[in-house]
Amino acid sequence: METQSIQNNLEQREVLVKVKRYSKERGEYWQEYKLNVDRFTQMTEVLRKIKTEQDPTLAYRASCHMAVCGSCSMKINGEPRLACKTLALDIVKKYNSNVITLEPMDFFPVEKDLVVNLDDFYGRMFKVKPRLYPPKEFMEGTAEPRLRPEDQKELWKFAQCIWCGLCVSSCPAVKIDPEFLGPAAHAKGYRFLADPRDSIYEERLKILVDSSWRCTYCYQCFNVCPRDVEPVTTIKKTRSHTKFLKDKGEVARTGEKHVKAIFDSIKETGKLEEAKVYLTTYGLATAIRDMLYTMRNGKVGFAMIKEKKINELDQVRKLMGE
């Protein structure tokens, strides 16, 4: 029985790997490779075999082969993934096909084949000052830099980022808003914002708070992160620090108004009254401009929906602590 199971595990299966390649000389083109894989073949192993046995010109990055270095990020069958954390046969099973496509990550400029340029990504990461700035007593040895277990519990998840860039590649906000730091930088920034041993809290607020209100809460970063860092959770938590920031920017002020408008709407009716929340947040002039836009696009009906109060509103207010 055991021998049978080992044989099943080692059974070879042929896959067709289609790689989206790029070089300055040839531009973009697809190339296909056939090879055998078994139950244990990681996608980095697929690439290594292609490069060493079939085509030494293929370029890709990988180092640790164990989801630690963050260098093998790419799109596999269209999904942002770490190649080393992806088994070839899992993809075959998931898509019920022996064809596997490999493409470079979205958003990043391609250097060659699956290798992308990470300069902009690292620029964003370093903007948030990704290290602890301890107070001078710690440096002079007159105080002990201890972290309480509850603080460690809060920070642990967010400290697991391996700078792979997958969340950024799938983030719609980062693509359209140059002022938005992006999910990975927010995860890193919050990890230190919430660290009680850090000494530059005010400076971190200035760097992070305005940007945090530029996220659209689409949760793509949550879905794709191979380390379960939950960047969107750090963005939410950073927003809750807005009240401590002096001299807030326009985006943060609007964000605060929006949250209050939602809270008031639910308190009054038990529901989210979209049109009213919009009007309270953005003011009459913007609301009229956007109303004209929705009319032109045949969507004005949605904006005019009048919500009825729910029954037992007092129960909702009780839940809200009112």
116 binds, among ligand SF4, ligand FES, none (CB under 5 to 8 A by kind): none
Nearest distance, CB of residue 30 and ligand SF4, angstroms? 26
Sign of CA dihedral 151, 154, 157, 159: negative
Q: Which amino acid is at 319?
A: L
Residues 6+ apart with CB under 8 A from 89: 13, 37, 38, 39, 41
Asked whether the beta carbons of 158 and 206 are under 8 A apart, the reply is no
Q: Which of 162, 181, 209, 277 binds ligand SF4 (CB under 6 A)?
A: 162
Q: Which of 78, 172, 196, 283 binds ligand SF4 (CB under 6 A)?
A: 172
Nearest distance, CB of residue 251 and ligand SF4, angstroms? 14
44 binds, among ligand FES, ligand SF4, none (CB under 5 to 8 A by kind): ligand FES
Closest CA to 146 of 195, 76, 95: 195
Give the contact letters, 235-264, x = binds to ligand SF4 (CB under 6 A), - = no: x-----------------------------
Q: Which of 220, 238, 265, 281 binds ligand SF4 (CB under 6 A)?
A: 220
189 binds, among ligand FES, ligand SF4, none (CB under 5 to 8 A by kind): none
Is residue 62 within the footprint of ligand SF4 (CB under 6 A)? no
Please state, as a whole number, how many other Cβ atoms lie within 10 Å of the Cβ of residue 220: 20
Residues that bind ligand FES (CB under 6 A): 44, 62-65, 67-72, 82, 84
110 binds, among ligand FES, ligand SF4, none (CB under 5 to 8 A by kind): none
Nearest-angstrom CA–CA distance, 172 and 177:
9
- CA 225 to chain CA mean position, Å: 6
Please state, as a whole number, how many other Cβ atoms lie within 10 Å of the Cβ of residue 205: 21
**Shorter beta-carbon distance to ligand SF4: residue 58 or 168:** 168
Helix (H) or strand (E) holding 172: helix 172-176
The three state secondary structure string of 237-299 is HHHCCHHHCCCCCHHHHHHHHHHHHHHHHHHHHCCCCHHHHHHHHHHHHHHHHHHHHHHHCCC
Which residue stretch of 38-46, 141-149, 189-197, 210-218 sits at the interface with ligand SF4 (rule: CB under 6 A)? 210-218
Asked whether the beta carbons of 180 and 167 are under 8 A apart, the reply is no
Is residue 187 within the footprint of ligand SF4 (CB under 6 A)? yes
**Shorter beta-carbon distance to ligand SF4: residue 229 or 252:** 229
97 binds, among ligand SF4, ligand FES, none (CB under 5 to 8 A by kind): none
Which residue stretch of 111-119, 189-197, 231-239, 267-275 sits at the interface with ligand SF4 (rule: CB under 6 A)? 231-239
Nearest distance, CB of residue 61 and ligand FES, angstroms? 8
Is residue 225 within the footprint of ligand SF4 (CB under 6 A)? yes
Q: How many CA atoms lie within 13 A of 224 on its CB side?
A: 26
The residue ranges that bind ligand SF4 (CB under 6 A) are 161-167, 171-173, 183-184, 187, 215-221, 225, 227, 229, 231-232, 235
